[in-house]
Every structure is written in structure tokens, then in C-alpha cells.
Structure 1
Amino acid sequence: MGCFGFLKMMMFIFNGIIFMAGAGILAVGIWVKVDSGSILQLLQSLKGVDGLEQLLNVGYLLIAVGALLLLLGFLGCCGAVKESRCMLLLFFVIILILFIAEVAGAIVILVFRGVVDQLIAKLGTAAVKNIQKEYGKSADITGLWNATMDVLKCCGFYNFTDFTDSPFFENNNLYPSPCCTSGLCDYSNAHNSTVSGCFPKVVKLMDENSILIIGVAFGIAVLELAAMSVSMSMYCKIGSKLG
């Protein structure tokens, strides 16, 4: 296998991965928009949080990203098969834009960490208010919180006290069963329980898997750099052949 044949094979490998990733992300995005029981319904019930509107569009964002990755996979494969410099150059430019956007996003998160913390604090305040107003009153909100707590094995946004003064607590003088490890979930059992809040649980999971998250992000960056290198090498090789 010659050098050009090796470059073609590498393009197929890179773009096969990109195409499958795009198909997966697109499927998740469509599921998020179609699934009526999505956790996004819970977020949609939290009013008055600045910046939350962007989170509610995550389904559209996933669909857009998935479609873009599918387009990239198509451009890369077709560009390699047809030896089209135009397709390869377009592929390179799109990958470069994505890479720059990712680096810029990482810098923004690091530099404006305080803004992110403020948004999380506002989200927490809105979540607690939502629990105290709707939990035990709205079947949809109650079901979504119950499903979230069952899956994550957590209680409330911060802890069990989030449910104090909620319709559920006022009607039963009890806390939700996920807030207790055993027995009737009254104040004493909930207070002595080791069940943490859902937000601390998510933070803990992210901390425990931080190495994996960083590794995946680094792997994506390496894949993008490799894809740009291979596409540009093919672009130059095809140009030299034509010349």
C-alpha cells in the first residue's frame, strides 16, 4: 500500500468514526425532542433563571451537531473516493472551525467560571422553588423528580429539606421515599439518611470521572487534528498529481 492509499484508508477510518458519532448524537437529539417524559420538561418548569433558555434548546443543538458530523463524514469519504480537492478543503475548514470553537469554549469556561457558578446557583434556587410549589401537586413534575431521584439515587436538588413546605410534605408530613434508606421517611429518618442531593451527586460523579472526561475531550481534539492533517495531506497529494 502506497502513501496515498494509506491516506485514503485513514480518511475512511476517521470519517467512519465521525459519521457514527454524528448518527448517535443526532439520534439522541431527536429522542430528546420527541420523548415527552424527558428531563427537559423539568427544566422548562423552572422559570426566571437567566441563561436557562439556552439549556432548553439542547435537543436542537444535538440535532445540529449530529447533522454537522454526518455532513463531515460524507465530505471526508466522498472527498477521498472521488479525490475531490474541493470536498477535502471544505472538510478541513469545517474541522478547523470546530476545533477553534472548542478551544474558545474551554477558555471561556475557565475564565468565566464565576458566571457559570452564578448560573448554577440561580438554577438551584429555581429548582427548590419549583419543588416547594409543584411537588405533590403536579403529576408531571412529581413524576419527573421521582424518576430523577430513582435513577441517580439522590434526594431533592440540594438535600431533603428542599421538600419542606411542598404540597407533598404538607399533605403527608413525610418526605419522598428516595430521601430515606429505610423505614417511613419522616424528618428523623431523612435527617439521618446518607442520601445526598441530586446536584451534589452529579458533581461527585463528574469529579470521580474527571480523568475519563478529560481523556475523551483530549481524544476528540487529537482525532480532529489527525483528520485535518490527513485531509490536507491528501489535498496536497491530489494537487501534485494534477500538476
Structure 2
Amino acid sequence: MAGVSGCIKYSMFIFNFLFWLCGILILAIAIWIRVSKDDHEIISSGDSGTNSYVAVNILIAVGAIIMILGFLGCCGAMKESRCMLLLFFIGLLLILLLQVAAGILGAAFKSESDRILNETLYENVKLLSATDDNGKAFQKVLAEFQEEFKCCGLVSGAADWGNNFQQNYKSCECSKVPDSSCTSYDGKYVYKQPCISFIKDLVAKHIIIVIGIAFGLAVVEILGLVFSMVLYCQIGNK
């Protein structure tokens, strides 16, 4: 009977160690995107606010599961445990199938997601002219965003601020020498560009990061399926 190939066995161990490190990296990146305040509070506030980070939340769960599977694969390879290797194979296959399903659903509902994002942003304009605590909290977040990205207002420019403009113009005020990117509004020189385009760009950047991780992970997962099944069969033929 053929024995277990030492090359396959240790390749499987090294692969799963790297797989475990990938899980840590995915978890770290997903958490970084999740806690980023650049656009999260702006697109999740308001009456029609929606959770735009479902994909990121899924990645957090996937990263944690991959760490567990990587550990399971390492132990299965070193102990030559068919049970551990089978569990590793099944778990990895389920993750791969879920990724494919999530990708198909994401592509199918892309236009719907864009529509919901637009509706949320336009709905949140009301918060800029509000005077309640919810409105003030949102105004503080947008003021910080305006200062960082050199924009003013949410969708229509400085006019979005309504009666609150004079109290918040500082965050979108142009330099002492205004240029073509500035405009005059209510006696102040402010940035002409509304923040909606910058917010959409940030959301798109986060989506690209998620897609890139998913594709790279799919390649690693397929290799893991092959390695684990080869080692599983070799152990069975001992």
C-alpha cells in the first residue's frame, strides 16, 4: 500500500499555515473597513438608512472561519487525521460556494444597491437643516468629511445646510484666495463640489477591496481543496 507523501503532507501544513495568516489579514482589513468613519455614518444615518456593510460583515465572519479551518487543516496534515481533513474540505467547499452565491447576488442587485445608496444620501440632506440631536450628530460627521475631502453639502452644495449654513460653513470654506473649485454662497466662499461623489467613490473603493479579497481567496481555497483531498486519499491508501 502506498504511504503518505511527505511532500504533500508538509506542503499541506505550510499551505494551511499561510491560509490561517490569510484569515487574520482578511479579518483585519474587514474590521478596518467596518470601523472606518469616512463614509459609514453618512450613508447609514437618516430615516432610510441602510446597512451598507453587509459584505464587510460577511468577510469578518469568513476571516474568522478561515482561521479556524487553517488550524484544523494544519492539525489534520500533521496528525494524518482523515476526519480533520474531511471537515476542512467540507468547510472550505461551503465557504467557496457561499462566495460564488454572494458574488452572483451582488452582481444581480448592483443597480438596486446603487438606488438605495442614492435614496439614503438624498434623504439624509434633511438632517443638515435639522436642529435635533440626531441632526447635529450627522452635521458633525459631514463637517469632518467636508474638511477632509474639500467638498460642501451632501448632494446640492452649500444650500443643503439651510439655516445651519452660518454655523457650519467653516468646514467647507475655501482658502483666502478662492479658485475655480470655489463659489460664493451667503457671503462666504465655499467649495463648489458636493460630497456625494466623494462618498460614492469611497463606497466603490471599499467594494473593490472586498471583491479583490474574494477573488484571491477563491484561488487559495481551490488549492486547499486539492491539497486536502490528495492527502485524504493517500492516508486512506496507507
Report the TM-score when normalising by structure 1.
Answer: 0.71
Superposition map of 1:156-171 within 5 A: 156-158=153-155, 160-161=157-158, 163-165=160-162, 167=164, 169=165, 171=166
Structure 1 position 240 matched with structure 2 position 234: no
Residues 240 and 108 from structure 1, CA distance in 2 versus in 1: closer, same or farther, beyond 3 angstroms? same
Residue 18 of structure 1 aligns with which residue?
A: 19
Residues 137 and 180 from structure 1, CA distance in 2 versus in 1: closer, same or farther, beyond 3 angstroms? farther
Cα offset for 1:40? 4.9
Cα offset for 1:106? 1.3
Higher RCO (CA < 8 A, seq sep 6+): 2
Distance across 1 between alignment mates of 2:128 and 2:237: 66
Distance across 2 between alignment mates of 1:32 and 1:205: 10
Worse-matched range after superposition: 61-70 or 207-216 = 207-216
Match of 1:177 among 164, 171, 192: 171
Distance across 2 between alignment mates of 1:203 and 1:31: 18
Distance across 2 between alignment mates of 1:205 and 1:40: 10
- In structure 1, stretches of 5+ residues that fail to align are none
Cα offset for 1:232? 0.8
Worse-matched range after superposition: 93-102 or 114-123 = 114-123
Residues 67 and 216 from structure 1, CA distance in 2 versus in 1: closer, same or farther, beyond 3 angstroms? closer
Residue 75 of structure 1 aligns with which residue?
A: 72
Residues 218 and 62 from structure 1, CA distance in 2 versus in 1: closer, same or farther, beyond 3 angstroms? closer
Cα offset for 1:215? 5.2
Distance across 2 between alignment mates of 1:141 and 1:229: 50
Distance across 2 between alignment mates of 1:229 and 1:22: 19
Residues 180 and 106 from structure 1, CA distance in 2 versus in 1: closer, same or farther, beyond 3 angstroms? farther
Paired amino acid for 1:119: I
Distance across 1 between alignment mates of 2:231 and 2:127: 56
Cα offset for 1:108? 1.4
Cα offset for 1:118? 2.1
Cα offset for 1:210? 9.0
Quote the RMSD (CA, aligned, Å). 4.1
Identity of aligned residues (%): 33
* Aligned partner of residue 123 in structure 2, secondary structure: helix
Distance across 1 between alignment mates of 2:199 and 2:36: 23
Superposition map of 1:1-243 within 5 A: 4-26=5-27, 40=40, 42=42, 45-49=45-49, 52=50, 54-55=51-52, 61=58, 63-133=60-130, 140-158=137-155, 160-161=157-158, 163-165=160-162, 167=164, 169=165, 171-172=166-167, 175-178=169-172, 180=174, 186-187=184-185, 189-190=189-190, 193=192, 196-204=193-201, 216-241=213-238
- In structure 2, stretches of 5+ residues that fail to align are none
Aligned residues: 230
